[in-house]
Amino acid sequence: MLKTNEKKLVQFTLECKPGHPFAGNRLNVDHLGKPFQLPGIGGITLNIEVGDSVYGWAGDHIEPGVSCKWGEKRRETPNQALQLLACSGNTAVVTSGKAKGARGIVLGHHGGSEHVIIEFDSKTKEKLSYDDTIQIKAVGMGLEILSKPEIRIVNLDPSLLKKMGITLHKSTGKLIIPVAAKIPSECMGSGIGNTNTSSGDYDIMTSDWETVKSNGMDKMRFGDFVALMDQDNRFGRAHRRGAVTIGIVIHSDCRNSGHGPGVTTLLSCGNGEIEPVIDPCANIADVLKIGTCREKK
């Protein structure tokens, strides 16, 4: 078992509300020059959940589950604190309205919209309103694996870290981490170069479908754990040969140039201390039995 500083982490209660869907009032143009106007970010997304494919939807940058924020000032406190402190795997509870008491799980952050995305079951989403409040038990910022201080961890609840199937290689000392796909560095697009990896996301470009298929990215699902190869996210988002970043897929495929499924950073190393291994079940839905893998009662 990996030893961490879990007992020393600070825990906060955060509060947020579902954010209305955003619908642009003009046509966009995709990477092939074709105009489109489709649903986009935000909202209580009723028919999409973790475990579903990120491809094929009549939408762009679709966020599964419930897209949450606090107030209209997206990049100011308290919304900024919500972005920085809420971590993938945190528990969330509805505290008002018809869905009061329902529990969910934080999926991750979406930069630009500055949303924290929370997975709730379909019955809860049907009951939720945009006036309802949701409390998040925020814990994870500052998480470390004590024997691997060179690996930076962000946006990750320690309870989810324990369930990701991570092991320590006996001879090399590397962290062996199951992932659904290995993403070539050249596929990383919008968001690269950002100096803050403790919030937001960046996109896997899917404009070259042959590259997508040849790297097993065509089966990508919301909630997949993926390895971003030669991507160093310790001190910003940068290309570095030998670096590996593990992230979680938080929004759908996109049609604009430079965009695609979004990834929130979870773990990152600079010199190959992480060894990703392919596992089609490396998804938060499979790990926590939520979304499409929810246990039927």
Based on the fold, state whether residues 130 and 172 are members of the same structural domain. Answer: no
Sequential DSSP letters for 33-73? S-EE----S-SB-TT--TTSBSSS-SSSSPPPSEEEESSS-
**Any idea what the CATH number is for the domain that residue 239 is in?**
2.102.30.10
Q: Which helix (H) or strand (E) holds 92?
A: strand 91-94
Final residue of a structural domain among 82, 106, 138: 138
* pLDDT tens column, 16-53: 999 999 877 789 999 999 999 999 999 999 999 999 99
pLDDT band for 74, please (50, 70, 90 cuts). confident
The partner residues of 28 in beta bridges, in order of sequence, read 36
pTM: 0.97
Based on the fold, state whether residues 104 and 196 are members of the same structural domain. Answer: no
β-pairing, 134-138 vs 91-94, is antiparallel
Average pLDDT over residues 56-69: 96
Mean pLDDT of the chain: 96
Closest by CA position to 50, among listed 89, 21, 22, 98: 89
Q: Indicate the number of domains in the chain.
A: 2
Based on the fold, state whether residues 84 and 129 are members of the same structural domain. Answer: yes
**Any idea what the CATH number is for the domain that residue 88 is in?**
2.40.10.170
Q: Which tokens belong to 106? A: 């934080």
Based on the fold, state whether residues 166 and 263 are members of the same structural domain. Answer: yes
Q: Which tokens belong to 283? A: 């998804």
Is 3 a domain residue? no
Based on the fold, state whether residues 110 and 31 are members of the same structural domain. Answer: yes
Based on the fold, state whether residues 284 and 168 are members of the same structural domain. Answer: yes
* pLDDT tens column, 180-239: 999 999 999 999 999 999 999 999 999 999 999 999 999 999 999 999 999 999 999 999
What is the pLDDT, as a whole number, of residue 297?
47
Domain that holds residue 185: 152-288
* pLDDT tens column, 169-187: 999 999 999 999 999 999 9
Measured distance CA(265)–CA(260) in Å, rounded: 15
Final residue of a structural domain among 110, 138, 166: 138
Q: Which tokens belong to 245? A: 């970043």
Based on the fold, state whether residues 132 and 157 are members of the same structural domain. Answer: no
User: Which residues contact residue 77 at a Cβ distance below 8 angstroms, ignoring those fewer than 6 apart?
Assistant: none
Q: Is 105 exposed, middle or buried (0-12, 13-18, 19+ CB in 10 A)?
A: buried
